[in-house]
Copies of this chain bind each other. A is one copy, B any other.
Amino acid sequence: MLTERQLLILKAIIDDYITHAEPVGSRSVSKREDMSYSPATIRNEMSDLEELGFLEKPHSSAGRIPSQKGYRYYVDHLLSPQKLSKKDKSGIQSVFQERFSEIEEVIQQSAKILSNLTSYTSIVLGPEVFESTLKQLQIIPISNEAAVAIIVTDTGHVENQTVAIPEGLNTHDLEKVVNIINERLKGVPLVHLRHKLTTEIGKVLEKYIDQYDLMLSLLNRTFISHQNEKVFFGGKTNILAQPEFHNVERVRELFNIFEENALISKLFRAEDQGLTIKIGQENRFEPFDECTVITATYAIDGKHMGTVGILGPTRMEYPRVVGIMDYMAKDLSKLLTNRYNK
């Protein structure tokens, strides 16, 4: 268990390192306003903190930097989220209230605000599709061989996919089927569509439609793979301003990762409701060993929808970011609930 004084010193060192990105020496800690001990005393405590694993030394004659364990302790016990300034709050509000827009635009905007406010990179996972339900299906033939299938969800989101028309399919029947689907499957979550196709309305279709097999194969392809979440970035290049990324090889690696939506989605998907902080190796992903990922979930009317996330160096301005994220997630939830849940 750490003593009161150790806590004070640990917090001082981390706060200092967060802002200056340089190893913190005993002298500069001692000089702080709320610090009434001499450098020598601090040195002794620092030595202890190092032995306990909360601090480390880049080399023997440098100051200390927080270890991953140090950050973890800081986050768990010493962190007090910063209240947002009125300016920040009104900044968020104003962007949201700008105009009526599709849910994805709102999300995209959120990512942008988040990165602007934090000056880190923000990553927002769009509403998870399995929560949204079918509003309307359209299949529009483009040529003799292809058609565009359009799915509109209750949130106003539009998915579209080009599908080949199986040879010999009667387009008249296709229309009929689309109508049946629109009548009977409205309100069904997208992820269940494929399943319902065979269970719920399978019999109906078989009765009305000659080429049931052909039709099914077409519809299956229409409903396939809408499970991939959209990923929205804000301030992709913000993180390059951090000294941690002053080497092009790393940058390259990072941006390659950014291109892999599936990976990003996996890394940022929140496991729990609420705010999560993953520091360094807690991300279980080697290129992020010196990064912290903070995620928060947003919801529509209490139903979990997606995740807003921030990627920054482990040396992140935790108080500020946590404050912002918290506010943001709640505000976003409120907004989305108001707009799309009536």
> For the complex, what is the distance from the CA of A225 to the CA of B140, rounded to whole Å?
23
Instruction: Establish whether residues B342 and A143, one from each chain, have CB atoms under 8 Å apart when the complex forms.
Output: yes
- Option from B105, B156, B240 in Cβ contact (under 8 Å) with A248: B240
Instruction: Establish whether residues A138 and B135, one from each chain, have CB atoms under 8 Å apart when the complex forms.
Output: no
A37 at the interface (CB under 8 A from B): no
A47 at the interface (CB under 8 A from B): no
Instruction: Establish whether residues B152 and A148, one from each chain, have CB atoms under 8 Å apart when the complex forms.
Output: yes
CB proximity to B under 8 Å, residues A218-276: 236-237, 240-241, 245-248, 251-252, 255-256, 259
**Dominant secondary structure at the A interface:** mixed
Residue of A145, A148, A251 with most partner-chain B CB within 10 A: A148
Interface size on A, residues (CB 8 A): 40
Instruction: Establish whether residues A140 and B148, one from each chain, have CB atoms under 8 Å apart when the complex forms.
Output: no
A81 to chain B minimum Cβ distance, whole angstroms, is 29
Chain B residues near A237 (CB-CB < 8 A):
252, 255-256, 259
Chain B residues near A152 (CB-CB < 8 A):
140, 142, 148, 150
Nearest-neighbor residue (CB-CB) of A243 within chain B: B248
3 closest A-B pairs by CB: A102-B162, A158-B160, A142-B156
Interface residues of A (CB under 8 A from B): 100-102, 105, 135-136, 138, 140, 142-146, 148, 150, 152, 154-156, 158, 160-164, 236-237, 240-241, 245-248, 251-252, 255-256, 259, 340, 342
